Amino acid sequence: MEYSTIIDISVGLHEKTVVYPGTPAFLAEPTVSRATGSRLTKLTMSTHFGTHLDAPLHADAHGKSITDLPLNHFIGTCRVVDGSQAAVNISLSDAQQWEVQKRERILIKTSNSARGLDTFYPDFTYVSPAAANYLASRDIALIGIDYYSIKQKGSTDNTPHTAFLLKNIPIIEGINLKNVEAGEYILVALPLKLHGVDGSPCRAILLK
């Protein structure tokens, strides 16, 4: 079978891709094998670079790593919800309107997607602590946001991460929903099989 629509919601990874302040720089260093002339590239990057998944270990030293989570979190039906009218952040009442059900995979489209993910701006739309607590309490399978963090830049309240991650709900950050309408899709966003780490870049696509 073939899907008629495949929407790539990943950002490209290159030296101009936004590096979230305080995280390691991205480097792609081409090398050539002396024996065969084969080309290889040495990559240096954060596990939270570009479009990526946060594992529980990101927020909890005893939490699950990205390979400890069952793959069904990352593949299956998902719902893109419209939060583009939200001012400043996704509030509790924004989140309540979506009537989120148990095991849903929810991707939040905000004004970030229209503004774009090509540059860093600190006043991106994020998920408020109250909305995060509410959404996590619904026992969803995954949450996503269209900028590089689900938490307000500079805030010391880490609830937008911990509410989900302490319940083993992975977070996908850095998805570009510019060309995506609210509605139902199939999500495929597999992490690399990186053992013992707190997150992973991923290629995220929506199928219809």
Active site residues: 58
Alpha-carbon distance of 119 to 26, in angstroms, equals: 15
Residue 54 touches Zn ion, criterion: CB under 5 A: yes
Of 184, 185, 163, nearest to 59 by C-alpha is 163
Q: Give residues 83-142 in contact with Zn ion (rule: CB under 5 A).
A: none
Task: Give least dist CB 172 to Zn ion, A.
Answer: 9
Q: Assess 48 for contact with Zn ion (CB under 5 A).
A: yes
Give the residue closest to Zn ion by C-beta: 48
Could you tell me the smallest distance in angstroms from the CB atom of residue 199 to Zn ion? 5
> How far apart are CB 31 and Zn ion at their closest, in Å?
28
Nearest to 62 by CA among 162, 144, 207: 162
Which residue lies nearer to Zn ion by CB, 53 or 80?
A: 53
What span, in angstroms and rounded, lies between the C-alpha atoms of 46 and 26?
7
Give yes or no for residue 161 binding Zn ion (CB under 5 A). no
| 3-state helix vs strand vs coil in the chain, percent to 5 | 15, 30, 55
Contacts to Zn ion by CB under 5 A = 48, 54, 173
